[in-house]
Amino acid sequence: MGFSGIQQTLGFLLQDKLQLTGIETAQMTGAALMVSAAFTFLVQMTVLQRVRLGPGQLIRLGLLALLFGAAIIAAADRFPLVAVGMAFMGTGLGLTMPSVSAGASLAVTPEEQGGVAGLVASCPPAGFIIGPLVCGALYQWHGPLAPLFSATVFFLTLVLLVTRDREGNARRSA
């Protein structure tokens, strides 16, 4: 939801903040999305192949990267800052997406894996419905609210994960 909201409002943000023409907006939006995709690919082909962290740790790191990326994009007033924000977004996606799938698969019995795989696969489309609707409305009200909403989604997800982990650790030690 957070990434799709930024993705859907990025062109408007670039055009408004950088005073771009329609053609320049398309070019800069494409370049920013390419930066994000390149970092997603780079992280998945290098970092994930070498780092021996569990899915939960990778998800936390990915959420931090997504949070930083959204915050940078919200504050950016030049394209290089937007590109840095999109690099963080791509890094975060590269860390979280495969980790969510792996973590969900490892958390259930073999009999439950099909159901979990279906649930995990349904989340991105749901996010691509909700994110653009919310961020589009927020952008019309006040442009920086769209990436700030995304940052809030990433922050709250991270807080929920950490809280859940602490509660789980407390129950195991009791």
Class of domain 2-166: mainly alpha
What's this model's pTM, rounded to 2 decimal places?
Answer: 0.89
What digits encode the pLDDT tens for the residues 44-101?
A: 999 988 998 998 999 999 999 999 999 999 999 999 999 999 999 999 999 999 898 8
pLDDT score of 168: 66
CA-to-CA distance for 141 and 29, rounded, in angstroms? 21
Domain boundaries, given as residue ranges, for the chain = 2-166
Task: Find out whether 67 and 3 touch, Cβ atoms under 8 Å.
Answer: no
Whether the Cβ atoms of residue 12 and residue 26 lie closer than 8 Å to each other: no
